[in-house]
């Protein structure tokens, strides 16, 4: 595996490449052209300039997160072929520049959803958090204004103000789209892009829906083991793979993360590894759950917050997650994911420097221990 950090580009990130370079073991960044719109072609010149900028800091681009998929593609509307054409052109340009991993998502309207961006924890750090109660009490068009005050002046991916000002129109676009239709549209998209992925050996890595259930009545499909295997089978090409995001699949404590990882051998192209702490959870029918680690979770409407990466701080067994990745021979990029805001840092929520650097070091430590315990028996 290759330890990396997400970086939004010098115009958008509060963290610099020079800082990233000093995190032990981090040689690659996961980045994007943050100011491009879905449906737009990424020019070779801009990709090259980004690559050069990263290389000048002594780092390399380990992959792109994200090349976003347009609503026309997700809804299968009239413009989809035009947008797919542009997507293919972008993939070709990335391929020509030697970039071989692209993360994307197929979530309608909202990307990841949290109801709080700065919940204060007992140690004074702040984290992103989700309560079902808050989602149930709010209209989708109020979501952005309810959280934007805590964005620290940054533009968060999927929550761009221009997009959020059109939430009602966006909902209208998806009114006839159910899970089946979304699967169909995803299949159509993947079938069209696989030839260029084969030609340039580009691994497509779909990001799961976060949280792993429908919010505001919108369909969400990349949520559990059954649905991902359906997706892997429906376009059975190794370039059609996943971003294994522990924090997103893990929003459902019944998703057995190590088991899911093992079932995806050869199809995980990118991993986001982070931990969550559950304050309450229940199934849609109101029944209680025991998490995949064997812990009983307090019954109640879902309420979880993002913990630091350490197993002891949340409900996940991070050793088991890293061990499963090791066991399947995973050799792609890994990144620590959302970190807490600590030590007075002001940054994009989840994407400060300090706690992600701690996370990277911890995950590197787990990996070293796993590796040595396997090879020095």
Catalogue the active-site residues: 207, 245, 272, 337-338, 351
| Sign, CA torsion 141/146/151/154 | positive
CB of 85 to ligand DNO, least distance (A): 20
Taking residues 290 to 329 in sequence order and writing x for each that binds ligand DNO by CB under 6 A, - otherwise, the string is: ----------------------------------------
Using CB under 6 A as the binding rule, whether residue 158 contacts ligand DNO is answered as: yes
Taking residues 195 to 234 in sequence order and writing x for each that binds ligand DNO by CB under 6 A, - otherwise, the string is: ------------x---------------------------
CB of 338 to ligand DNO, least distance (A): 6
Options 20, 42, 65, 261; binder of ligand DNO; rule CB under 6 A:
65
Using CB under 6 A as the binding rule, whether residue 13 contacts ligand DNO is answered as: no
Nearest to 290 by CA among 254, 262, 243, 339: 254
Options 39, 140, 157, 302; binder of ligand DNO; rule CB under 6 A:
157
* Cβ–Cβ under 8 Å, residues 29 and 53: no
* 3-state secondary structure at position 331: coil
* 3-state secondary structure at position 130: strand
Options 4, 93, 105, 131; binder of ligand DNO; rule CB under 6 A:
105
Question: Closer to ligand DNO at the Cβ: 74 or 80?
Answer: 74
Q: Which of positions 30-59 make contact with ligand DNO (CB under 6 A)?
A: none
Using CB under 6 A as the binding rule, whether residue 270 contacts ligand DNO is answered as: no
Question: Closer to ligand DNO at the Cβ: 7 or 297?
Answer: 7
- Residue 308 CA to residue 359 CA, distance in Å, equals 7
Question: Closer to ligand DNO at the Cβ: 325 or 348?
Answer: 348
Using CB under 6 A as the binding rule, whether residue 111 contacts ligand DNO is answered as: yes
Using CB under 6 A as the binding rule, whether residue 104 contacts ligand DNO is answered as: yes
Phi, psi of 240 (to 5 degrees): -90, 95
Q: Which stretch binds ligand DNO (CB under 6 A): 98-106, 213-221, 225-233, 275-283?
A: 98-106
Residue-wise burial string across 269-308, b where 16 or more C-beta atoms lie within 10 A, e elsewhere: bbbbbbbbbbebbbeeeeeebebbeeeebeebebbbbbbb
Q: Which stretch binds ligand DNO (CB under 6 A): 105-113, 278-286, 304-312, 314-322?
A: 105-113
Q: Which two tokens stand for residue 83?
A: 């947008």
Q: Where are the beta strands (DSSP E) in 22-81?
A: 28-31, 60-65
Provide the CA 89 distance to its chain's centre, in angstroms. Answer: 23
Taking residues 113 to 152 in sequence order and writing x for each that binds ligand DNO by CB under 6 A, - otherwise, the string is: ----------------------------------------
Using CB under 6 A as the binding rule, whether residue 269 contacts ligand DNO is answered as: no
Q: Which stretch binds ligand DNO (CB under 6 A): 99-107, 133-141, 196-204, 359-367?
A: 99-107
Residue-wise burial string across 11-47, b where 16 or more C-beta atoms lie within 10 A, e elsewhere: eebbbebebbeebeebebbbbbbeeeebbbebeeeeb
CB of 23 to ligand DNO, least distance (A): 18
Name residue 180's beta-bridge partners: none
Q: Which stretch binds ligand DNO (CB under 6 A): 18-26, 103-111, 262-270, 324-332?
A: 103-111
- Residue 75 CA to residue 177 CA, distance in Å, equals 7
Q: Where are the beta strands (DSSP E) in 208-331?
A: 240-245, 268-273, 276-280, 303-306
- Residue 236 CA to residue 332 CA, distance in Å, equals 20
CB of 342 to ligand DNO, least distance (A): 18
Number of residues near ligand DNO (by CB under 6 A): 13
- Residue 16 CA to residue 346 CA, distance in Å, equals 14
* Contacts to ligand DNO by CB under 6 A: 65-66, 103-105, 111-112, 157-158, 207, 272, 338, 350
């Amino acid at each position: 595996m290759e330890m990396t950090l997400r970086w939004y580009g010098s115009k958008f990130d509060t963290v610099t490449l020079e800082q990233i370079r000093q995190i032990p073991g981090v040689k690659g960044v996961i980045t994007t052209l943050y100011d491009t719109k879905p449906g737009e072609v990424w020019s070779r010149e801009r990709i090259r300039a980004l690559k050069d900028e990263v290389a000048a800091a002594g780092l390399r681009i380990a992959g792109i997160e994200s090349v976003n998929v347009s609503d026309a593609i997700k809804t299968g509307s009239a413009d989809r072929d035009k947008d797919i054409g542009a997507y293919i052109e972008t993939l070709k340009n990335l391929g020509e520049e030697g970039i071989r991993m692209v993360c994307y998502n197929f979530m309608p309207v909202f990307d990841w959803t949290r109801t709080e961006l700065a919940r204060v924890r007992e140690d004074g750090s702040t984290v992103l958090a989700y309560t079902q109660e808050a989602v149930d009490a709010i209209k989708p068009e109020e979501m952005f204004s309810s959280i934007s005050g805590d964005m620290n002046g940054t533009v968060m991916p999927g929550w761009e103000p221009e997009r959020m000002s059109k939430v009602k129109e966006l909902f209208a676009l998806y009114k006839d789209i159910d899970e089946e239709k979304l699967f169909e549209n995803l299949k159509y998209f993947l079938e069209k892009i696989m030839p260029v992925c084969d030609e340039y050996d580009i691994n497509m890595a779909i990001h799961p829906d976060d949280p792993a259930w429908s919010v505001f009545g919108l369909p969400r499909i990349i949520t559990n083991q059954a649905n991902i295997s359906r997706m892997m089978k429906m376009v059975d090409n190794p370039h059609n793979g996943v971003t294994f995001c522990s924090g997103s699949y893990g929003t459902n404590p019944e998703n057995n993360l190590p088991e899911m990882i093992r079932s995806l051998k050869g199809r995980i192209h990118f991993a986001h590894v982070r931990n969550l702490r559950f304050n309450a959870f229940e199934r849609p029918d109101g029944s209680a759950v025991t998490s995949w680690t064997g812990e009983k979770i307090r019954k109640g409407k879902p309420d979880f917050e993002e913990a630091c990466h350490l197993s002891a701080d949340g409900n996940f067994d991070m050793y088991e997650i890293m061990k499963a990745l090791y066991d399947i021979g995973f050799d792609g990029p890994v990144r620590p994911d959302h970190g807490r805001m600590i030590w007075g840092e002001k940054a994009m929520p989840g994407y400060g420097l300090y706690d992600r650097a701690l996370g990277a070091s911890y995950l590197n430590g787990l990996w070293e221990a796993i590796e040595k315990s396997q090879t020095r028996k």
